[in-house]
DNA sequence: GGATAGCGTTTAATATATTAGACACCATGA
DNA sequence: TCATGGTGTCTAATATATTAAACGCTATCC
C-alpha cells in the first residue's frame, strides 16, 4: 500500500551494513542517486533499481514482497510454534508455512565456543531449525538473539548470518536448508 | 534471471484482455509509453510501472514474483498431487505449499448447468480446491480447463475466474479461500 | 588546532523516460 | 471505394532520472 521505496531501500541497505558509497560502488551507480532515491526525491527506473539491488544482492521480487510481508518473521519462540499434527502425533511447524521445494534436514552439534567462522555466511535459498539442547547465539541481518532449547529460527540465506555457541555446553540443533545446498 | 519487463507486461496485459489504449486510459498514462515499455525501448520508473499495474490491477510484488515462478501452476492433475501424509494416513497436498494465513474450507455443490454468473469473479486472496464428484469447467486468466473427480486447482483470486457445470450430473468440490472472504 | 577520512546531502549538467500527436495497418460496413 | 474505428508503432518536445562534483557534518589521530 505504502510503496515507500526510499525508506525501504534504506532499511535494506542498513540491514546489510552498507554505506551509500559502498552500495553505489558495488551497484555501479553514484552515491548521490542512492541518496535521492532514499529521500523519495526521484522514482528510480526499473533498470537502476535492479542494478542497485544487484549490489546487495537482492532480487526485485524479494524487494517488493518484503513490502507486503511487512516484517518477515525471523525468530519463533517456543511458545509460538504452531502444532500442525493430528491424533497422537504433535507436529510443531517452524516458519509458519511449508517450503515450496524439497529441503535438507540437518542435525547439528556445536562444541562450546564453536561458531561458523569470523565472516558472515551468505548463500541462496532459505534455512530454519530448532535448538534441541544447549544454547546458541544467532545473528541474522544485523539482529542477534540467544536461542535455547525449544526455540526456532527461519530466514532467507542471503541475509548475512552466523552461529556461535558462547556457552560451556554442547549445543544441538535440527535444521533444514532449501534448496539442499549449504 | 531474464527480467524481460516488456514481454512480461505484454503477457499480463493480454492475460486480462486489455488493449494498450485501454490499459493506458485506466492507468493514466499514454498508449505510446506502454508500447515503448513492451518493446523494452525504455526502462520505466517505479512510479510509472506502479501506475500501469494499478490499471490492471496488479501489485508490483505480484508482477515480479510472477517473473521468478515462470509459470505459476494453476492446474494440478490428480496424478501430480503430492502425498504429505505419514503412516496409514495419505494427505494429498494441493498447491504445492501450505498457505501462510488461515483459510476457509468450502464444500461446494454445483447443480447441472449451474455457474458462478456471467461476469468473471475478481477479488483479493488465493483459492484452491479439489473436485470430489462430477465435472466442472474452470476458467482462470483466459485459460479454460475441464476438471473431473480427483483433479485440483489453485490460483490468485485477482485473476478473473469462473466456474461452470456443463454436465448433466451434480458436481461436488472441496475448496479453500485465503483470507476467508469470497 | 589542523588534517584526514568517513558519512549523507545538494546542485548544475546531462542522459533518459514520458507525452502528445501523427503514422501505417487491418478489419468492418455503407 | 471510401469511411470509420480498432490495433501497435514511431518521432519531436518536454519532464524527469542520473551523473559528477561539490558541500557540511562528525569522528579520529597527530
Domain CATH code at residue B50:
1.10.260.40
Which pLDDT value is given to residue B42? 93
Distance B48 CA to C16 C1' (A): 14
State the Cα–Cα distance between residues A179 and A37, nearest whole angstrom. 34
Q: Are residues B57 and B88 in the same domain?
A: no
Residue B35 clears pLDDT 90, i.e. is over it: yes
- Judged by CB atoms closer than 8 Å, whether chains meet at B98 and A98 is answered as yes
Q: Given this model, what pLDDT does residue B156 score? A: 63
Query: Do B99 and B163 share a domain, yes or no?
Result: yes
Q: Which three cell numbers stand for residue B89?
A: 494416513
Angle between helices B60-68 and A60-68 (to 10 degrees): 140
Closest CA to A181 of A138, A121, A136: A121
* Average pLDDT of span A43-57: 88
**Dihedral sign for Cα atoms in the order A93, A96, A97, A98:** negative
The three-state secondary structure class of B20 is helix
- Whether A61 and B68 have beta carbons less than 8 Å apart is answered as yes
**CA of A30 vs C1' of D21, distance in Å?**
11
All three cell numbers of A2: 505504502
Radius of gyration of chain A, Cα coordinates, nearest whole angstrom? 18
List CB contacts (< 8 A) between B63 and chain A. Answer: 64
Q: Which domain holds residue B10?
A: 5-68
User: Given this model, what pLDDT does residue B180 score?
Assistant: 37
User: In this predicted structure, what is the pLDDT of residue B98?
Assistant: 38
Residues A82 and A61 in one domain: no
Cell of B180: 476467508
CA distance B87 to B132: 23
Contacts of A54 by beta carbon, 8 Å cutoff, 6+ apart: A26, A27
Same domain? A80 vs A170: yes
A100, A38: one domain: no
- The per-residue pLDDT for B49 is 92
Asked if B64 and B79 sit in the same domain, the reply is no
* A130/A165 same-domain check: yes
Give SS3 for A22: helix
Beta-carbon contacts of residue A103 (< 8 Å; ≥ 6 apart): A176, A177, A178, A180
Contact A161, A177 (CB under 8 A): no
B45 with A50: Cβ contact below 8 A: no
User: What is the three-class DSSP state of B101?
Assistant: coil
Q: Which residues of chain B have a CB within 8 Å of the CB of A6?
A: none
Domain co-membership, B150 together with B174:
yes
Shortest-distance nucleotide from A52 CA to C1' = D18
With 80 as the cut, is the pLDDT of residue B129 above it? no
**How high is the pLDDT of residue A181?**
38
The larger pLDDT score, comparing residue A59 to residue A95, is at A59
Mean pLDDT of B70-93: 36
Closest partner residue to A97 among B44, B64, B98, by Cβ?
A: B98
Please tell me whether residues B110 and B142 are part of one structural domain: yes
pLDDT of residue A72: 37
How many CB pairs lie under 8 A apart between chains A and B?
Answer: 62
Residue B9, judged by CB atoms within 10 A of its CB (0-12, 13-18, 19+), counts as buried
Cα–Cα distance, B56 to B97 (Å, whole number) = 27
CB A54 within 8 A of CB A27: yes
Query: Residue A67: its pLDDT value, please?
Result: 55
Number of domains in chain A: 2
CB contact under 8 A, A99 and B97: yes
Amino acid at each position: 500500500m505504502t510503496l515507500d521505496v526510499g525508506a525501504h531501500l534504506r532499511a535494506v541497505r542498513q540491514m546489510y551494513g552498507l554505506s551509500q558509497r559502498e552500495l553505489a560502488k558495488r551497484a555501479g551507480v553514484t552515491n548521490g542517486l542512492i541518496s535521492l532515491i532514499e529521500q523519495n526525491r526521484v522514482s528510480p527506473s526499473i533498470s537502476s533499481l535492479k542494478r542497485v539491488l544487484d549490489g546487495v544482492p537482492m532480487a526485485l521480487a524479494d524487494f517488493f514482497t518484503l513490502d507486503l510481508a511487512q516484517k518477515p518473521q525471523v525468530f519463533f519462540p517456543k511458545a509460538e510454534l504452531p502444532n500442525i499434527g493430528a491424533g497422537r502425533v504433535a507436529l510443531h511447524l517452524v516458519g509458519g508455512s511449508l517450503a515450496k521445494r524439497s529441503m535438507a534436514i540437518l542435525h547439528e552439534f556445536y562444541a562450546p565456543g564453536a561458531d561458523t567462522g569470523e565472516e558472515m555466511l551468505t548463500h541462496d535459498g532459505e534455512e530454519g531449525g530448532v535448538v534441541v539442547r544447549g544454547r546458541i547465539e544467532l545473528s541474522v541481518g544485523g539482529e542477534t538473539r540467544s536461542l535455547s532449547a525449544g526455540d526456532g529460527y527461519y530466514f532467507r540465506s542471503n541475509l548475512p548470518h552466523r552461529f556461535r555457541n558462547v556457552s560451556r555446553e554442547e549445543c544441538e540443533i535440527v535444521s533444514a536448508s532449501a534448496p539442499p545446498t549449504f
